[in-house]
A and B are shown apart, each in its own frame.
Chain A
Amino acid sequence: MPNDAVTQLRTEARKALDAAPDQGALDAWRVDFLGRKGRLTGVLRGLADLSIEEKKTVGAAANALKLELEEAFDARADTLRLASLTKSIETGRLDVTLPERPHLQGGLHPVTQLSRKILDAFRSMGFSIIEGPEVELDHYNFEGLRIPADHPARDMWDTFWVDEEVDGRRSILMRTHTSPMQIRFMEEHKPPIRIAVPGRAYRFEATDTTHEWMMTQVEILAVDEGLNMGHLKGTLLDLFRRLFGQERQIRLQASYFPFVEPGAEVAMDCYVCNGKGCQSCHGSGWIEMLGAGMVHPEILDSMGIDSRKYTGFAAGMGLERLAMQYYGVPDIRWWYQNDLRLLNQF
């Protein structure tokens, strides 16, 4: 008869458990059936009136029921949790294609980005990055580079002159290239030298789609024992390959800059068409990259560096035109117009 009470309690408890719709009902059920003052405890309390034999039987049954109900409770709780999760997944489904929550997108100017790439390449070849003044003395921009006053090579660099005189002579100018740093650096440092000099330079030049009067240049200078033109070629080829791919080729043509001997114009085969000729390279298959050469021995000697012992090379490139090609911009003047509709693309 008492066993019947256990059986009946079981039936009721299972039924109530299956009917519990949520966690709240589940908690109430637990108090009701398994709590300290719950109904299973009640059954166990009722044992006091029974015989020892009955106590044993009913007690075992009640304990078994307690275990069973606890397990059932866990299972039911799990089911309910899963159901509610499923439901919340259903109702909370996101359209993942909606735009991100916006925050300000900053960024470096494309010319800065290109300059960084070039400088990173040189840095990894052991070049230190050095800068110098943009407003220069004739002495550093021209004379120290073997371009004295009234030298015809001055026509190669149309110059902005600053309206200042030193002892009645106009001798301050906007540097026309980054090469003055060759002299400034060699005044202070002796070989081995390996520097890359980025910076702005200025040319008194009418502007059009491919000409700009303010430009960004990167210059390199290396002076050491045993450097020859092959090292110049190898260094520049290394640069081109780091920037534009391992298959790049280099071409040197004879040229003239008063501060190098021999001098060269350096081109790279076009990375767009691999040298076959395309719009990007105007059909030539080559892209003019920079001017270069072996440092003129008279410059080394004038810096107190023995040109019979040490040799060196130098190269200088303008970035704006390369950046046009690299980023697909049709007009060089766009760079310094600072239209955010352009800059925001980079």
Chain B
Amino acid sequence: MRVSLKWLSEYVDLKLPPEELAHKLTQAGLAVDAIVRTGADWGDEIRVGEVKTVEPHPNADRLRLATVALGGDDTRRVVCGAPNLAVGQRIAFGAIGAKYRDGHNGKYGTLKAGVIRGVESAGMVMSEYELGLSEDHEGILELPADAPVGQKLADVLGDVIFELSVTPNRPDWLSVLGIAREVAALTGETVREPSLEFEAAGPAIKGKCAVAIKDPDLCGRYIATVVSGVKIGPSPQWMQERLIALGQRPISNIVDITNYVMLEMGQPLHAFDYDTIAGHHIIVRRGRSGEAFKTLDGEERELTDDMLAITDESGPVALAGVIGGLDTEVTAKTKNILLEAASFNGPNVRRTSTALKARSEASTRFEKGLPPELPALASKRATKLLVELCGGTAMQGAVDVYPGKQREARVEVTRNRIVQVLGIDPPTAKVRQVLTGLGFSARWVPPDRYVVRVPYWRPDVRIDDDVCEEIARIIGYDQIPALPLSAAIPAPVVQPRRELRERARDLLAAAGMRETISYAMTTMEILERVIPKETLAIYPPFKLVNPLTSDHEYLRPTLRASLLMTLAYNARFQKGQIAIYETAKTYERPDERKRVQGRPHGEEALPVEREVACGVVSGRRADRWGRPSDEDVDFFDAKAFVEDLLRGVNVTAEYVAADEFAMLPGRTAEIRVGGVRIGVIGQVHPDVATAFEVEQDAFLFEIVLDDLLMHVGDQRKAGSISRFPAVEQDLALIVDDETTAGALQNVIEAASLVRAARVFDVYVGDQVPAGKKSIAFSVVYQSDEKTLTDDDVAKAQRKILERLRREFNAELRA
């Protein structure tokens, strides 16, 4: 909403400087986003001129020469390029030295004397753009015909405009009068209501016009007045200026009056051509399916029974509160006006206007719920203006059908409640002063309460806490003291899944990975790179109805693609090692979920959100100087991060070679805990990497934290620390190629006296038979009871070997 202070000052005295007033309004909840001064730097150089002559330019086809009169004998000759320049126009003339906005670079400059194509120009006829009024470059600004020639333009058009953010609970602030009421309350002034007095010289309306409301749930009041013999033409200059200042384009006197009253009082109105209304009979009812009519934007609209239609005896003539019909529109030939001022159901207007994509200044006011008292006042005001400005004659009285009349709202507020909610206890006199200033009436009923009557324009105030807010915002929120939380701290509530995720985040970062955060939506094409099509067919990812772009259409059921995209993006800039991860939700389609008793309907249809940690490692390891070395990272770099994470949460995992979509066979493993899969690790299939424009080996891991959660270890307990020396011995084995180090290690570590075993060499080549490999372990033997002898160790090793031979056909390497 924009408001002109010039217009505003008609209803309330503005004694504060605009900045101070803006601050007060903003504090009270009516946020002033910007203060725009029109004409602040027009100075003396820009004045109203009259175009006396227009002649062709001798040297240029597209330019013309004009003489402009500035009052008295003062005339100037200028070169002008605007096509709409004509003799007799009042225009804004900028003399040498005038400030103007340059049409080429948008910068403000000072007008200098100049010769244009051989002809001297003593100034310029200015456009709205050059004046800084709008972005309109097209042609010069045409001033009203009665604009006083020679007057400073700032005196004619200068104003201060507030650009306001109006919260949806306050449709009254979508009117100049409503803002005036707020200003009055905040500055202790009184409001001057606009005049509703006029002479109705026509016949009584009874019998000339009838109204019936068939659906009073959607229309609480409908008032029709009739003004006959109007003369269609432009509205007066002062009205046009006000409309323009608030961002409305003047159209014709009739339409301008309806818009003017809407901006002034907040009530949208509609003017019909009285003679086109069949039977002069307005019937307000729900639409019937199959019904259709043409609205004034030329669209053919089909009605449904959810829409409220204004009809006459032959059919629909308007969609209530949304848009009028083409056939009943006011035209240049219109003589008689039927003026509608009505109260429509807000949600219904919103639904209809949204469905028809026809939201307007009118519908956005109606949808916020306008009070039914307002149409009566607005109807009088607009009828008065129709009479006074369009030469019409008003019929006496109005047809007022008012099924939605409500009792005046009263709210009781106890003094205790004010203290309970606000933490302050303002004196009775202050409370009454604040509420009275806002147009409420407040009666103190001893010993403990106020009875508050709410003015018609504040239907948003319904309960005692609403009144508390009114008191607080006018007194000022700065009067409320800042208090510490002093009550006992409630028992803590812990979400283990969240704790695990945060721990995983920390562990991976501490291990050397960078956390990334990526968008939760992606495309089907990208998902198909990392998830088999069959899976996507059985569990289709959740899709947005209204994605911002097609790049973000599907909710991701995996983080893999996001990480690979981030890798590709960064690999362009960085040759060294990249190690990145993200912990985020995936959104998966549940197999089948049943409604749970006591849960809201639809909860079973929500995606399963699982916490996942996913990481990618790629590039070359750093050398001593941090430059990329010749060594590429491999599977085991990725495994190191996984192990750091798992050790950090006290989990021991097994790695089992596995095939996985989008991963390279033979270089991929399932990560299992207690035999149950919690994730996967491996090299991204080179074809998949290429699809993401990753041209180097990439190693990826994904751990489903939800699955890991149930394995997260208990509190660790310390093991014994032997006071006897440990003996370290190497054990080099020759085994079949497919035997895994992990399986061997499990056997070795299970043997008695073995404290730990660690692989230190793997060899395949000439020195072992074909189909075999050598794996060397460093084994630590130790006893808690005694110092081990060579014999003890040899005996233990022999036992290990026997078992390895039996189970794995392993031989000691010579």
Interface residues of B (CB under 8 A from A): 26-29, 31, 167-170, 346-348, 350-351, 364, 367-369, 419-424, 463, 465-466, 468-469, 472-473, 477-478, 480-485, 487-490, 492-495, 498, 505-506, 508-520, 542-548, 552, 555, 566, 569-570, 573-574, 577-580, 585, 587, 600-603, 605-607, 609, 622, 624-626
Contact status A150-B482, CB under 8 Å? no
16 residue pairs bridging A and B, Cβ less than 8 Å apart: A104-B579, A108-B506, A112-B505, A128-B490, A135-B555, A150-B347, A152-B369, A160-B546, A171-B602, A226-B420, A233-B481, A254-B472, A254-B473, A311-B421, A338-B517, A340-B514
Is A81 close to B, CB under 8 A?
no
Is A32 close to B, CB under 8 A?
no
Contact status B606-A133, CB under 8 Å? yes
Contact status B544-A163, CB under 8 Å? yes
Contact status A126-B490, CB under 8 Å? yes
CB contacts (< 8 Å) of A133 on chain B: these are 606, 609
- Which residues 57-111 in A have Cβ within 8 Å of B in the complex? 99, 101-109, 111
A229: shortest Cβ distance to chain B, in Å? 5
CB contacts (< 8 Å) of B364 on chain A: these are 152
Contact of A153 (CB < 8 Å), options: B168, B424, B513, B574: B168
Using A193-B490, A202-B520 as known contacts, list a sample of 14 further A-B pairs with CB atoms less than 8 Å apart, ordered by residue number in A: A103-B512, A106-B511, A150-B351, A174-B520, A195-B493, A231-B423, A231-B484, A234-B483, A253-B26, A253-B31, A254-B27, A256-B170, A294-B421, A341-B574
Contact status B347-A194, CB under 8 Å? no
Contact status A233-B483, CB under 8 Å? yes
CB closest residue in chain B, given A119: B502
CB contacts (< 8 Å) of A227 on chain B: these are 487
Q: Of the listed stretches A2-10, A48-56, A257-265, name the one at the interface; the rest are far from the partner chain.
A: A257-265
Cα A343 to Cα B543 in complex, Å, equals 30
Cα A127 to Cα B116 in complex, Å, equals 73
Contact of A336 (CB < 8 Å), options: B465, B514, B519: B519
Is A321 close to B, CB under 8 A?
no
Contact A167 B601, CB 8 Å, known A256-B168, A294-B421: yes
Contact A338 B518, CB 8 Å, known A106-B513, A151-B347, A231-B485: yes
Contact A340 B512, CB 8 Å, known A195-B493, A252-B477: no
Contact A222 B606, CB 8 Å, known A156-B168, A213-B548: no
Contact status B423-A108, CB under 8 Å? no
Is A228 close to B, CB under 8 A?
yes
B173: shortest Cβ distance to chain A, in Å? 11
Cα A172 to Cα B517 in complex, Å, equals 24
Cα A299 to Cα B755 in complex, Å, equals 61
Contact status B515-A112, CB under 8 Å? yes
Contact of B482 (CB < 8 Å), options: A129, A230, A262: A230
CB closest residue in chain B, given A251: B478
Contact status A228-B509, CB under 8 Å? no
A307: shortest Cβ distance to chain B, in Å? 9
Contact A228 B421, CB 8 Å, known A213-B548, A234-B485: yes
Contact of A107 (CB < 8 Å), options: B31, B170, B485, B509: B509
- Which residues 148-167 in A have Cβ within 8 Å of B in the complex? 148-153, 155-156, 160-164, 166-167
Q: How large is the interface on A (under 10, 10 to 19, 20 to 34, 35 or more residues)?
A: 35 or more
Is A237 close to B, CB under 8 A?
yes
Contact of A192 (CB < 8 Å), options: B348, B488, B578: B488
CB closest residue in chain A, given B542: A162
CB contacts (< 8 Å) of A1 on chain B: these are none
Is A344 close to B, CB under 8 A?
yes
Max chain A Cβ within 10 angstroms of own Cβ: one of B348, B421, B478:
B421
Contact of A222 (CB < 8 Å), options: B469, B485, B574: B485
B-contact bits for A106-136, CB 8 A (1 contact / 0 none): 1111011000000000000110111101111
A169: shortest Cβ distance to chain B, in Å? 8
A184: shortest Cβ distance to chain B, in Å? 10
Contact status B477-A253, CB under 8 Å? yes
CB closest residue in chain A, given B562: A338
A106: shortest Cβ distance to chain B, in Å? 4
Contact status B602-A336, CB under 8 Å? no
CB closest residue in chain B, given A335: B517
CB contacts (< 8 Å) of A224 on chain B: these are 487, 490
CB contacts (< 8 Å) of B29 on chain A: these are 253-256
CB closest residue in chain A, given B488: A192
Contact of B469 (CB < 8 Å), options: A151, A155, A253, A263: A263
A315: shortest Cβ distance to chain B, in Å? 13
Contact status B601-A166, CB under 8 Å? yes
Is A276 close to B, CB under 8 A?
no
B478: shortest Cβ distance to chain A, in Å? 7
Contact of A160 (CB < 8 Å), options: B168, B346, B544, B573: B544
B418: shortest Cβ distance to chain A, in Å? 10
CB closest residue in chain A, given B499: A129
Max chain B Cβ within 10 angstroms of own Cβ: one of A126, A128, A138, A338:
A338
Contact status B600-A252, CB under 8 Å? no
Contact A163 B543, CB 8 Å, known A139-B602, A222-B485: yes
CB contacts (< 8 Å) of A311 on chain B: these are 420-421
CB contacts (< 8 Å) of A251 on chain B: these are 477-478
Max chain B Cβ within 10 angstroms of own Cβ: one of A152, A227, A265, A297:
A152
B-contact bits for A207-221, CB 8 A (1 contact / 0 none): 100000110100000
Max chain A Cβ within 10 angstroms of own Cβ: one of B346, B484, B517:
B517
CB closest residue in chain A, given B581: A106
CB contacts (< 8 Å) of A256 on chain B: these are 29, 167-170
Contact of A150 (CB < 8 Å), options: B31, B350, B574, B577: B350
Contact of B545 (CB < 8 Å), options: A162, A230, A261, A337: A162
B607: shortest Cβ distance to chain A, in Å? 5
B597: shortest Cβ distance to chain A, in Å? 14
A279: shortest Cβ distance to chain B, in Å? 18
CB contacts (< 8 Å) of B27 on chain A: these are 253-254
Cα A194 to Cα B466 in complex, Å, equals 24
Is A140 close to B, CB under 8 A?
yes
Contact status B26-A130, CB under 8 Å? no
Cα A264 to Cα B587 in complex, Å, equals 34
Contact status A109-B515, CB under 8 Å? yes
Contact A252 B465, CB 8 Å, known A128-B490, A167-B601, A228-B420: no
CB contacts (< 8 Å) of B517 on chain A: these are 109, 111-112, 216, 335-336, 338
B-contact bits for A299-340, CB 8 A (1 contact / 0 none): 000000000000100000000000000000000000111111
Contact A140 B607, CB 8 Å, known A162-B544, A344-B514: no
Contact status B350-A341, CB under 8 Å? no
CB contacts (< 8 Å) of B28 on chain A: these are 253-254
B513: shortest Cβ distance to chain A, in Å? 5
Cα A164 to Cα B167 in complex, Å, equals 31
A154: shortest Cβ distance to chain B, in Å? 9
Is A137 close to B, CB under 8 A?
yes
Cα A234 to Cα B485 in complex, Å, equals 7
Contact status A162-B493, CB under 8 Å? no
Is A238 close to B, CB under 8 A?
yes
Contact status A152-B367, CB under 8 Å? yes
Is A280 close to B, CB under 8 A?
no
CB contacts (< 8 Å) of B516 on chain A: these are 109, 338, 343
CB contacts (< 8 Å) of B601 on chain A: these are 139, 166-167
B492: shortest Cβ distance to chain A, in Å? 5
Closest 6 CB pairs of A and B: A104-B512, A254-B29, A230-B423, A126-B489, A150-B347, A262-B469
A342: shortest Cβ distance to chain B, in Å? 10
Cα A170 to Cα B570 in complex, Å, equals 39
CB contacts (< 8 Å) of A341 on chain B: these are 573-574
CB closest residue in chain A, given B350: A150
Is A296 close to B, CB under 8 A?
yes
CB closest residue in chain B, given A159: B546
A199: shortest Cβ distance to chain B, in Å? 9
A144: shortest Cβ distance to chain B, in Å? 8
Cα A301 to Cα B47 in complex, Å, equals 64
Contact A161 B546, CB 8 Å, known A109-B517, A228-B422: yes
Cα A170 to Cα B481 in complex, Å, equals 44
